[in-house]
Every structure is written in structure tokens, then in C-alpha cells.
Amino acid sequence: MVALAFATGIVTDHFFSLPLVFWLSAGFTFFGVRFVWSPAQVLSLFLISLAVGGGWHAHFERLWPTDDVSRFVSKERVLCRLRGVVEGEVVPIEPNSAERSLSQQEEVRTRFTLRVTSMNDVSESVTGRVVVHLVGRSAGWKSGDELSMLGWLASPREPSNQGESNYASYLREERIGAMLFVEDAQSVTAIGSGFPGPLAAVRETLREWGCQLLRGGLSPRSAALAEAFLLGIRTSLSPSDVLPFVESGTIHVLVVSGLHVALIAHIVWMGAGILVRSITRRAILSMGVVVLYTLVTGANPPAVRAAVASILVLGQFLGNRSAEPINTLAASALVVMLGNPGDLFRTGPQLSFLCAMAILVLLGGITAVPTEISPFSTTWQRGGRVAFEYGKQLFISCLVLWLVTAPLLMSTFHLFSPVSVLASMILVPLSEGTLGIGVAYLGLGVVPIIGDGLAWLLDGSMRILDGTSSWAASIEWG
């Protein structure tokens, strides 16, 4: 109930943009009613949670520091020099076919986020973040590098047509209020390299080590796919590489999603059972690996949702208390909304929670039905029966999830791909095995003979994943 009320407050403030003082007044009023009128305890708790959610969204989206770089932005572009630290991935963007036909050139652009520390080399402090759009390729910059650059500072463009995506609102929900357009890489000067904190240093070190291991043992195409599949790094993939997964409706297999985190928790739990007998230690080890994997892969909202759910499920072995599925889902939603209330309006988190709710409500009874097999059956008959039941449940699950998510996908991406039901039946079990091989390779890839064997298996699995998605995307009317 608290998570539902919190989300209701966020939605209310998103559409009506009520002042923060309104939410504070409402929260204190409902808090007083809770003590004065005892019959309204449940209702007042709901209203308090609603006010807190609305106030949190108002604070997050509209309450900005006075020295934020967005304060210096006007309607006209301003030439200025910014200095700051790179955050996240430095993403190359290839021009699409329409842009190439108009410009008659294939000019790559680069996009990344810069946390600003100073402006125009003045001593006054400037904070905040900007999205940098650079014409050309980067000079190998990565997260944590300190850069100085000359470019045109501007505010994000508001939508000019009804129904057009609101990029400015998207950036505001990320607490980004400005954009910097840099004409070439020569306008950027690298000052130093480092990380904003020890956690970021560990994260980037593990990501870089994993990428080097994958590139050294796999073919270039498979390594690029494996970086996205295992580590959530898509900088080596062009839009054309990702297009077959999008058109076939199987992009959830390529990106690090809640499915990956849940599988990691299961793999570590089962693997730890071989070495550790204590249930408590197995649970603590599994929770630690889940948290580490979520942080290394970028802590996107679907992964955070699955991580919180996995921790709560594993935590029941520590406190001898069962975790209710609906409470687990609500707690994970609350954590995601506290991290960024704007995630409530993004397609990725919406699809993640929609699938989780469908699995919980619609598929819980179906997949929980036990398979009755006669003890007089032969081994082949029992195996065939188990395989049939598994295939049937897998088909029902893929079909239900596709039916649940299809309206959102059609309204957002104008994409209708019923072939994703069949493709998911192939790719979901395959991705489970591939993820296990990938985790084993990242852990044992440096061992001479074992590492070579795991690299061969992982390369073959990535080729099958890639080929299956390309086949599904090529089906007419699919």
C-alpha cells in the first residue's frame, strides 16, 4: 500500500507540478490526522505516503541548487568552456540512413554526461550535469576522466509537436538541465584520469578487466555482444547491431535486465551449495554477488528491482521469515522510485515491473502445477513428459508476457512482433546457459585450458543468440 501511494503521489506531481510547500503541508496535515482520529489510521498512512511521493518528485525534478549549470542557460546558445568529470559510458552514435542521405557524409557523433566543476575557468563553483554532444569520435575517454571543453551551451529542446517525445522532461528527471554541443575533438582537453570515489573505481576496474578478457578470447562480434549481455556495456555495438534484437522483440536478452540478476542469484546460490554447507553463508555470499553484479553492470532500474527482490528472498534464510512475493515487489518498486522518481515514466522500468507483476499474478498458479508422472513409465517416457511440461509452461509464460507488454511496446516504439514468443522460447533457456558460461569464463578465463574451453563455449552461444534474433527479425509479418 505504501509503494502504491508513493507512486500515486509521483504521478500526481508529474502531471500537475504542484509546489513543494503544498506536499509538505499535506504531509503534516495527514500526519496529524493519524494521531487525532484513530479510525483513519490506514487512510492517513496512504495519504502520508502519497504526500511524501509527490514531495520527493517535486524536490527531485524542480528544486535545483543555485549554482547549477542550468541557471546559466538561456534560449540562445552560449559559447563557454566547461570543466568536469565524465560520468557513465562514452557512447558513439552512428548517423542513420536518412541523415547520411541528407548530409552526404557518414560522421560519427559521441554522447556522454559531464559532471561540471567549473565554467569559463572562473573561481566561482558551478555544479550540475550536462549532456555533451560531440561531432566526431572521442579520444578514448572513459568514466572518471577530467576534461575541459569549449562548446555551445543550450537548454534541451522542448517538444514542438503533439505526441513528440519530451527529451527535456527526460533530462530533467535525470537532474540534467543543459546540453553542450562541441564541434570537434580538438576542442576537448584531457586534464586527468581518475574516479569520483572508491566504489566507482572498483566498478570501472572490473568492467575494464571483463572487457579485456572477453575481447581476448572471443571473436570481435561475439565479444561486443558479450559485453552488453554480461556487463551491460553497449559502446562496442552500433545501432545496426542491436536492430535485429529490437525488431524481433528480444532486446531483453541482450541488455542486463532483471532476468540476468535473478539468474546470477540462482547460479551463485546453487554453486555455493557445493562449497558452503551453511545456509546462512550461502545466502550472504549470494546477496554480496548480486549487489556487486548490479553495481558493475550500471544499476539500471530493472536490475535494481531484481536485486532488491533477490536480497529479500535470500534474506529469509537469515531471519527465518518467509518473504511475501507482493511485498517483495512493492519494496523493490519503492527502492527504484526513491533512487529516481522519473523511472516510473520510463519504458524500461515499466516493462520490468509489468512482467514481474504478470509472473506473480497470472503465471504463479500455472507454473506451480506439479507434473504427475506414472512410476511405471520408462526413462524416456518420463523424460519426454518433463520436457513437454517444461515446453508448455515456457510457451504459456512467453505468450502471456508478450500479451501483457505488447500494448506498451506498440504505443511507445510502434513495434508489433508476435515472433518474439517463439524467439523467446529459444533464447530464454539459451541465455540461462550462456549466462552461466559467461560467469564461469569471467571467473576462470585466465586459467589456460579451462579458459580456452569456456571461451569456445561462450563464443558459440553468443553466435547462436545473434543468429536466432536475426532469423526472427527476418520473418515477414513477424
| Average of per-residue pLDDT across 308-319 | 86
Dist. CA 105–CA 130, nearest whole Å: 27
Dist. CA 152–CA 408, nearest whole Å: 36
| Average of per-residue pLDDT across 126-151 | 88
Closest CA to 107 of 147, 134, 141: 134
Point out which residues pair with 82 in neighbouring strands.
Answer: 119, 149
How confident is the model at residue 421, as a pLDDT?
A: 84
High-pLDDT (> 70) share of the chain, %: 91
Residue 95 binned pLDDT confidence (cut-offs 50, 70, 90): low
Please check the confidence at residue 99 and state whether its pLDDT lies above 60.
Answer: no
pTM of the prediction? Answer: 0.83
How confident is the model at residue 477, as a pLDDT?
A: 59
How confident is the model at residue 457, as a pLDDT?
A: 93
Question: Which region among 76-80, 118-122, 180-184, 402-406 has the lowest average model confidence (pLDDT)?
Answer: 118-122
